[in-house]
A and B are shown apart, each in its own frame.
Chain A
Amino acid sequence: MKAGRIIAITFLAGALVACETLPEDAFRLNESALELREIQSRTYEDVTEIEILSASSAVLQDLGYAIDEADKNLGLLSASKRASAKDDMEIAGKIALDVLDCLATLMIGCEDDAYQSSKDVQDIRMTLVVLPDLKKERTHRVRVTMQRVVWTKGGDLYQQETIVDSQVYQAFFDKLSKSVFLEKEGV
């Protein structure tokens, strides 16, 4: 009887916890916020706001993004694209699991299945904001924030996250630097 009550109370507690609650830090800046801001920002000199916005939309087009939102007054561009997720480490891990799965079940054509799951897709979304430096003329700070949602081949949500990898932002800003140069040269 006593054991039954404990099980029942555990069940009740579980039902209460099942209500998802908003994380306490959802609207607070955490310790890594400043560092992330630096990773996500780069300063460009000797350009006008329009030049940097044009160069930004051009680089987004180069990378196959569609511009979803653009506001000149706010110096803002939002863009998205759907891409393969096969190069991602997480997905690589998932393939390894699939292979193990196949071995375990001794299914014929396992390799095909494992290969197929490598064709998962991800939706990448980003916002790019151009902020004029009020102390220095023709100098602008560009801040980019990126997110991605990874879907399995079956269309199930696999993962959603903010991209914090500095290399991704570095690569983007390098391309933007080239784009600014091309913009000025009128290419």
Chain B
Amino acid sequence: MTIRILVVAFLLILAGCAASTGVITASGSQVELRQMQTRDYETLDKRGTLRAVVATLQDLGFVIDKADYDLATISATKLQDYEIRMTVTVREREGSWLAVRANARFNENPITDPKAYQDFFTTLDKAMFLTLHQVD
């Protein structure tokens, strides 16, 4: 019994918590991933939305690595005891909607926990409200 537990522990250490296959073209449900990483906002104000994204990232302690207004893409890094790198894109949807998509990695691993993205969008919602309603 003892040996069995030790073997399991040893295998876990070997696995190192990292996926050994599919690192470059990671698998998983694309649709599910997109859903959890995307939120739609009823606005056509691309500039205001991107500014709200930048403000949110600053509030969360990120420094912006790349920002391109034309491509509506922002990449940022947060450095604490850990490192989070995040990319946020904004694109037009049909009608008067903009879709904001965020993807992030925590240290070496992609963040796939829907809760993390929910938290991000909850924080962004507040910034969007302030920006779109022109409140400082």
Q: For the complex formed, measure the closest distance between the CB of B88 and the CB atoms of chain A, giving whole angstroms.
A: 12
Chain A, range 3-35, C-beta contacts under 8 Å to B: 4-5, 8-9, 11-12, 14-16, 18-20, 22-23, 26-29, 33
Assess the B84–A26 pair: CB atoms within 8 A. Answer: yes
Chain A, range 25-47, C-beta contacts under 8 Å to B: 26-29, 33, 37, 40
Category for how many chain A residues contact B:
35 or more
Assess the B61–A145 pair: CB atoms within 8 A. Answer: yes
Kindly report which residue of chain A lies nearest to residue B50, judged by CB atoms: A74
Given A5-B1, A12-B8, also A145-B120 (CB < 8 A): no
Kindly report which residue of chain A lies nearest to residue B84, judged by CB atoms: A26
Assess the A145–B82 pair: CB atoms within 8 A. Answer: no
Q: Which residues of B contact A133 (CB under 8 A)?
A: 136
Assess the B79–A162 pair: CB atoms within 8 A. Answer: yes
State the CA gap A131–B58 with chains docked (Å).
Answer: 13
Q: Which residues of A contact B61 (CB under 8 A)?
A: 145, 147, 162
Q: Which residues of B contact A29 (CB under 8 A)?
A: 59-60, 123
Assess the A5–B2 pair: CB atoms within 8 A. Answer: yes
State the CA gap A22–B12 with chains docked (Å).
Answer: 19
Q: Which of B3, B9, B116 contacts A15 (CB 8 A)?
A: B9
Assess the A20–B67 pair: CB atoms within 8 A. Answer: no
Assess the B66–A69 pair: CB atoms within 8 A. Answer: yes
Given A15-B13, A20-B107, A22-B116, also A28-B84 (CB < 8 A): no
Q: For the complex formed, measure the closest distance between the CB of A129 and the CB atoms of chain B, giving whole angstroms.
A: 6
B119 CB–A CB distance under 8 Å: yes
State the CA gap A88–B133 with chains docked (Å).
Answer: 43
Given contacts A29-B60, A127-B58, 20 further A-B contacts (CB under 8 A): A8-B2, A8-B9, A12-B12, A18-B12, A22-B84, A22-B106, A22-B116, A27-B60, A28-B122, A69-B64, A73-B69, A74-B51, A76-B64, A78-B63, A78-B67, A125-B63, A125-B77, A127-B64, A127-B76, A160-B80
**A-contacting residues of B (Cβ < 8 Å)?**
1-3, 5-6, 8-10, 12-13, 17, 47, 50-51, 54-55, 58-69, 76-84, 106-107, 111, 113, 116-117, 119-120, 122-123, 134, 136
